[in-house]
Structure 1
Amino acid sequence: MTETNPHELRDLIRLALREDIGDGDHSSLSCVPETATKRARLLVKQAGVLAGVEVALVVFDEVDPALKVEVKIQDGARIEVGDIVLTVEGSARSILQAERLMLNIMQRMSGIATYTRSMVDLIADLPVKLLDTRKTTPNFRLFEKMATRIGGAHNHRMGLYDMIMLKDNHLDYAGGIQAALVRAHQYLEKTGRDLKIEIETRNLGEVDEVLRLGGADIVMLDNFSLEDMREAVRKIGGRIETEASGNINETTLRAVAETGVDSISSGALTHQIKSLDLSLKAF
């Protein structure tokens, strides 16, 4: 088996199909005629924001390129109960093989996009970005981060490889903020990489230390009180980008955004989500 690329949508879908179908869809093979041609439509059973249409098209294509899909509603649209997202026509066996994977992906992506949109709407009038995090489902990160973008948020880093983020455990293991920053810059110089450095601070004293030392592109204000967060933003004065993090949800987001931070990251966008109810039905 060839190596699967976790950054390639088709590779992940192929792996998921192998997981689901195994040596055959014996339910369909046992009772559905090989030559049967049928139709089905994707029905909305819960209002929200649609996400995953682009992925569904790839699922159908990977199962059977001969399937004919007509998309009626695009990603990012608000959907209501009774809406028809798409129709598919072709081999009945192929439709049945694609059904569950397509639904699993679209239901979860739509749940993420729906919650994300509700969060973005809370701060739409403020000059602050909402970011997702690495708190994602293993081997499903690509889809979940697609969904947060569809919902209106911004992707933070995709993984450990595209930014240096020095969090509390890094700082403790490295011997403190200064040691961590020095080593991070030495590493970048040695390896020839051009990566941003973000550093987590846990109190105003650590913010002062970062400002004194320099060398960070982004300062994370982790679990700060609103008062301390406003003071940190004042101290930083726009010299370094600021990111608020910690206990960010629909009840805390607005107040944090009003402190003046540049961005706010929320793991809740992906790890506390209920899937949106969609169903594929024959017609």
Structure 2
Amino acid sequence: MKQQIINLVKMALAEDIGSGDVTSIAFIPETAKSQGRILTRKSAIVAGLSVVKEIFRQIDTDVLVTPRSENGTLLSSGETILELEGPSRSLLLGERVALNFLGKLMGIATLTHSYVEAVAGTDVIILDTRKMTPGWRLLEKEAVKAGGGKNHRMGLFDAVLVKDNHLASLGSDQFSTLPAIIQQCRFHHPEIKIELEADTLEQVRFFLNIKEVNSILLDNMSLDEMREAVLMRNDKASSVRLEASGGITLENIRSVAKTGIDEISLGALTHSAPWTDLSMEIY
């Protein structure tokens, strides 16, 4: 378990528990033991199991957490995600925090699964973006993978992605100076991916002539523009991958996939995923 996640769980528990669960202390004997389960109230993809284990580990090592499913599993409404056993007060201390983490992460996994299913039968890969909850990036990216998607770059450090603001910083000389800058990026970072964002087909045509480029992001292009970009890529630099992004929904994603592009990145996977409705039953 990464220290970042351990710290996130610690913070979540501290803000919820505070000085103690005054209700459980009043109603439940300190020595009481219980069993319980967490179940889904709707069809959903499982994600976040390791976080629940960490939540209850921090609360009470006497709590036993037993998963009854695996990350990436599609469950129907009413099915059990995991079972719990231990001190009753401890189970209730972790209830809301566990449901919050699971609900959010399973929501991301489930939405990702919907997009993956929408492009089934094509070779298109569904990618996430950096539009994520601060502090939750590792968890949210794992949830995307649980839903069948793949991760784009983790941050600013593990890939070169030249966007419009980077190009704007070059002023009117961007076309003449960009190839040399990209060559320097490859020299200093020989192993990492280099991707350039294109808003126009003119940019796509130019970027395809820079041999160090691995991928071109087609930003908010129409279906016809994407098809034209694919034809240019196939003719000039067949090894360059094309990624589509911007304005893509479940309603139009299959049409985008059929243009011949290789990848589709969606911020919605993480910033707009509805939480999964979950419940914890104690018995």
Greater Cα offset, 41-50 or 22-31: 22-31
Counterpart check, 1:161 vs 2:157: yes
Local SS of the residue matching 1:214: coil
Greater Cα offset, 271-280 or 212-221: 212-221
| One-letter amino acid of the counterpart of residue 208, structure 1 | R
| One-letter amino acid of the counterpart of residue 182, structure 1 | A
Distance in 2 between the 1:24 and 1:193 partners?
Answer: 53
1:203 corresponds, among 200, 205, 210, to 200
Residue in 2 that maps onto 1:62: 58
> How many pairs are equivalent?
278
Q: Is the 8 A contact 1:107 1:278 kept in 2?
A: yes
Distance in 2 between the 1:178 and 1:263 partners?
Answer: 28
| One-letter amino acid of the counterpart of residue 249, structure 2 | N
Deviations 1:131-172 (A, max 9, x none): 011111111122211111001000111111111111111111
1:182 to 1:26, Cα distance in 2 relative to 1, 3 A: farther
Residue in 2 that maps onto 1:239: 239
Counterparts of 1:85-124 in structure 2 under 5 Å?
85-124=81-120
2:209 corresponds, among 212, 216, 220, to 212
| One-letter amino acid of the counterpart of residue 158, structure 1 | M
Residue in 1 that maps onto 2:258: 258
Residue in 1 that maps onto 2:166: 170
2:146 corresponds, among 135, 143, 150, to 150
| One-letter amino acid of the counterpart of residue 69, structure 1 | V
| Structure 2 unaligned residues grouped into runs of 5+ | none
Q: Is the 8 A contact 1:177 1:210 kept in 2?
A: no
Counterpart check, 1:183 vs 2:181: yes
| Structure 1 unaligned residues grouped into runs of 5+ | none
The Cα of 1:20 is off from its aligned counterpart by 2.5
Distance in 2 between the 1:177 and 1:39 partners?
Answer: 65
Distance in 2 between the 1:183 and 1:129 partners?
Answer: 29
What is the RMSD of the two structures over their aligned residues, measured on CA atoms? Answer: 2.1
Local SS of the residue matching 1:199: strand
Residue in 2 that maps onto 1:51: 47
Greater Cα offset, 66-75 or 271-280: 66-75
Distance in 1 between the 2:258 and 2:195 partners?
Answer: 22
User: What TM-score do the two structures reach when normalised by structure 1?
Assistant: 0.90
The Cα of 1:266 is off from its aligned counterpart by 0.9
